Amino acid sequence: MFAYTVRRVLMVIPVLLGMSLVVFFMIRAIPGNPAQVILGQKATKEAVAALTHKLGLDQPWYVQYVKYVGGLLQGDLGESIRTGSAVADEIWPYLAATLELSLAAMLIAIVVGVNAGIISAWFQNSWFDYAAMVLALVGVSMPIFWLGLMEQWVFAIHLDLLPTSGREDIRNPIEPITHLYLVDTLLQGNTDQFVQVLQHLILPSVALATIPMAIIARITRSSMLEVMKSDYIRTARAKGLSMFWVVYKHSLKNAIIPVLTVIGLQTGLLLGGAILTETIFSWPGIGRYIYDAIGYRDYPVIQSGILIVATIFIFINLIVDLLYAAVDPRIKYN
Amino acid sequence: MNKQHVLEVKGLKTSFFTDDGEVPAVDDIDFYIDEGEILGIVGESGCGKSVTSLSIMGLLPKGIGKIVGGDILFKGENLVRATEKRMKQIRGNEIAMIFQEPMTSLNPLFTIGNQLMEAIRIHTNLSKKEARLRAIEMLKLVGLPRAEEIIDEYPHQLSGGMRQRVMIAMAMVCQPAVLIADEPTTALDVTIQAQILKLMKDLNENFQTAIMMITHDLGVVAEVCQRVVVMYSGKIVEEGDVRTIFKDPKHPYTVGLIQSVPDIREKKERLYSIPGNVPKPGSIKQGCRFAARCAHAFDRCFQETPKLYDIDDKGHRVRCFLHQREGEINSDRAVVAGERA
């Protein structure tokens, strides 16, 4: 298991290298150059050329790429062209905001999705089953931006229960420690602010949770239905076990592997792809950070941002693979 | 009669409700098992053997299979009317069951110990530690070597025969009054089959557990059973003690079954097989269900359903007009049911 983990971690290196190359060329394929964007439309050609030279963007691509990768190997993610500060210093607050949002969303998606799937399978063809599966279909088909807007309209504007957007109440800002605000406010023992952060988190995380929740519910249901037909489930029933234990112990553990796969993939997607939700809810996350960087042609930020998101994605899926072995004793990694 | 019927099935009818309507899988069957007896239930696939056992356990697939008539009396208590709560107390505790497929009948993700201790702890107040000791004891009792290690192993680490022993240990932990064994040796190779049968016979003798041995293998019946019930297409066609049935089978179906068993002493070019196939449940509305495959069938067989006629006073009964004694009237529930259908 340890050897397998090490091998998998080492395999990440070529993947990231290939990834960096693709991103490097793709952003340079976008028309426009950073110097022009920074100086504006009316800048003189000389000024643009001077800034391009200053930023090192007039060098041949391979020189730029080797410099970039060389920096990466030393843990240097480059400097933002726009702000001039190191990407490594700048990126964490954004990443933390996205982590907090995606983990909250996944928590909702897993708890609700898995249970809805289980109950639907347990009471197959009941009204609950039909209702849950119709909702799940609606959930996967619903555009997130629309759902987000509706949430704001209903819960923030009409009912005035929750804040419309942002991570915190700007009149009562949070003193960041880890930048995960739920953790920070807990560390500071500030319950008022903790509740505020939680209130800000609810609407965007529910919006973000919808699609994964629906997918998880459907996968859980079909996987459970398959498992509940097995001989060992009949054995468990014949022992005199109640349906609850048959379902939640014997069936769920067997049904969970495909669900884990989906959870891993969806978590990875949320971490990188929450741009829509982050935009609608003015959430200062990594999705918007990279999106804004694209607007400014901020090459180092785009490159490193995407690389970090990709790394997280790969590691989440590694964790899922290791979880398989933890769930199923027949799976051995050698 | 000095022995009590521990389980008595009376007029049991179980149907499956499919898109094509109601399909009777078990149609008006009566049989009983005495305390400590081994009863064989024999028949081809699809004759209703397994449905009978699932009906007794109350484990028919929900929403599809349903008992539509009759009673199942366990020590006098009618299980057809028992609540699910009561059935949970009975299952695994007073009536236990083992299945055909030892390879897939144990949950692959839990240790043997976990699954055994679970069975113990549902029905007793034993602590985890005591349950573990009891589980080890049971594993030893069913003849598993290194029980202390096996208890922490997973099903995939054991062979088919060992898994069936585990299944038997699991079924016997609460020393049930009745053990239903649904083709327990079918999936095992012959040497292991013999060992498992011997084990079941020993358990029957030592614990006085009555066994309902469901099988299509007459060899198994000859080996372990005292009485046998032959089923065909959801009905009992012959019933009697094993010696009588083997020596003097009456129903043409039973005769056919016995003839199709290969005999090592005779060199035959071809094995005998009963012509035709088991009819689809519910497809025969009238007459004897075996008539279409029967060499002795005459007109009446296609018109009227025969009842179970007594051959002697020792419980040998057969559902065939050939054995209707003179003056005996063919009138019982079976006919009424047949006419109504």
Determine, for residues B105 and A231 on separate chains, whether the beta-carbon distance falls below 8 Å: yes
A229 at interface of B, judged by CB pairs closer than 8 A: no
User: Measured between alpha carbons, how far is B309 from B237 in angstroms, rounded to an integer?
Assistant: 10
**According to the model, what pLDDT value does residue A223 have?**
95
* Pair A228, A184 in one domain: yes
* Pair A205, A317 in one domain: yes
B328 band by pLDDT with thresholds 50, 70 and 90: low
Determine, for residues A234 and B156 on separate chains, whether the beta-carbon distance falls below 8 Å: no
* Pair A112, A64 in one domain: no
Determine, for residues B118 and A241 on separate chains, whether the beta-carbon distance falls below 8 Å: yes
**According to the model, what pLDDT value does residue B329 have?**
61
Q: CB pairs below 8 Å between A and B: how many? A: 70
* Pair A46, A143 in one domain: no
* Pair A13, A152 in one domain: no
A234 at interface of B, judged by CB pairs closer than 8 A: yes
Determine, for residues B91 and A330 on separate chains, whether the beta-carbon distance falls below 8 Å: no
Distances (CA, A) of B329 to A170, B282, B291, B321: 96, 26, 20, 11
User: Measured between alpha carbons, how far is A261 from A267 in angstroms, rounded to an integer?
Assistant: 10
Residues of B in contact with A227 (CB under 8 A): none
User: Measured between alpha carbons, how far is B306 from B332 in angstroms, rounded to an integer?
Assistant: 9
**According to the model, what pLDDT value does residue B151 have?**
93
pTM of the model: 0.84
Span of A182-191, A243-252, B211-220, B277-286 with lowest mean pLDDT: B277-286
**According to the model, what pLDDT value does residue B261 have?**
77
Tokens matching residue B233: 């297409």
* Pair A171, A314 in one domain: yes
| Residue A288 belongs to a domain | yes
| Residue A178 belongs to a domain | yes
Who wins on pLDDT, A82 or B8? B8
Domain residues for the domain of A28 are 2-73
Determine, for residues B101 and A254 on separate chains, whether the beta-carbon distance falls below 8 Å: no
Q: Is the pLDDT of residue B1 over 80?
A: no
| Residue A78 belongs to a domain | no
| Residue A199 belongs to a domain | yes
* Best CA proximity match to B55, nearest among B73, B33, B37: B73
* Pair A60, A131 in one domain: no
Tokens matching residue B340: 């109504």
Residues of B in contact with A237 (CB under 8 A): 59, 91
* Pair A49, A102 in one domain: no
CB-CB: which of A231, A241, A254 is closest to B109? A254
**According to the model, what pLDDT value does residue A273 have?**
63
Write down which residue in A73, A101, A132 finishes a domain: A73
B309 band by pLDDT with thresholds 50, 70 and 90: confident
Residues of B in contact with A332 (CB under 8 A): none
Closest CA in chain A for residue B167: A235
ipTM, two decimals: 0.84
Residues of A in contact with B110 (CB under 8 A): 250, 253
Average pLDDT over chain A, rounded to an integer = 88
Write down which residue in A41, A73, A105 finishes a domain: A73
Residues of A in contact with B104 (CB under 8 A): 230-232
Residues of A in contact with B59 (CB under 8 A): 234, 237-238
B331 band by pLDDT with thresholds 50, 70 and 90: low
| Residue A85 belongs to a domain | no
* Pair A58, A144 in one domain: no
């299509």: which residue's tokens?
Answer: B216
B336 band by pLDDT with thresholds 50, 70 and 90: very low
| Residue A66 belongs to a domain | yes
Q: Is the pLDDT of residue B332 over 60?
A: no
- Give yes or no for a contact between A132 and A138, defined as CB atoms under 8 angstroms apart: no
Q: Is the pLDDT of residue A216 over 90?
A: yes
pLDDT in tens, A97-152: 999 999 999 999 999 999 999 999 999 889 999 999 999 999 889 888 888 899 98
A123 at interface of B, judged by CB pairs closer than 8 A: no
Instruction: Locate the domains of chain B by residue range.
Output: 5-94+174-340, 102-173
| Residue A80 belongs to a domain | no
Determine, for residues B154 and A329 on separate chains, whether the beta-carbon distance falls below 8 Å: yes
Determine, for residues B88 and A125 on separate chains, whether the beta-carbon distance falls below 8 Å: no
* Pair A293, A264 in one domain: yes
CB-CB: which of B88, B109, B154 is closest to A240? B88
Q: What average pLDDT does this structure show over A204-222?
A: 93
* Pair A256, A183 in one domain: yes
Closest CA in chain A for residue B116: A239
Q: What average pLDDT does this structure show over A154-172?
A: 85
Using DSSP bridges, classify how beta strands B77-78 and B309-310 pair: parallel, antiparallel or unpaired: unpaired
CB-CB: which of A125, A232, A241 is closest to B106? A232
Determine, for residues B106 and A235 on separate chains, whether the beta-carbon distance falls below 8 Å: yes
| Residue A334 belongs to a domain | no
Q: How many domains does chain A have?
A: 2
Determine, for residues B110 and A235 on separate chains, whether the beta-carbon distance falls below 8 Å: no
* Pair A163, A267 in one domain: yes
Residues of A in contact with B122 (CB under 8 A): 239-241
Residues of A in contact with B123 (CB under 8 A): 240
CB-CB: which of A234, A240, A254 is closest to B123? A240
Determine, for residues B92 and A239 on separate chains, whether the beta-carbon distance falls below 8 Å: yes
Determine, for residues A241 and B122 on separate chains, whether the beta-carbon distance falls below 8 Å: yes
- Fold classification of B5-94+174-340 is Rossmann fold (3.40.50)
**According to the model, what pLDDT value does residue B128 have?**
92
Determine, for residues A253 and B109 on separate chains, whether the beta-carbon distance falls below 8 Å: yes
Mutant choice from B89, B105, B117, B156 vs A, greatest count of A C-beta within 10 A: B105
Tokens matching residue B175: 């020393």
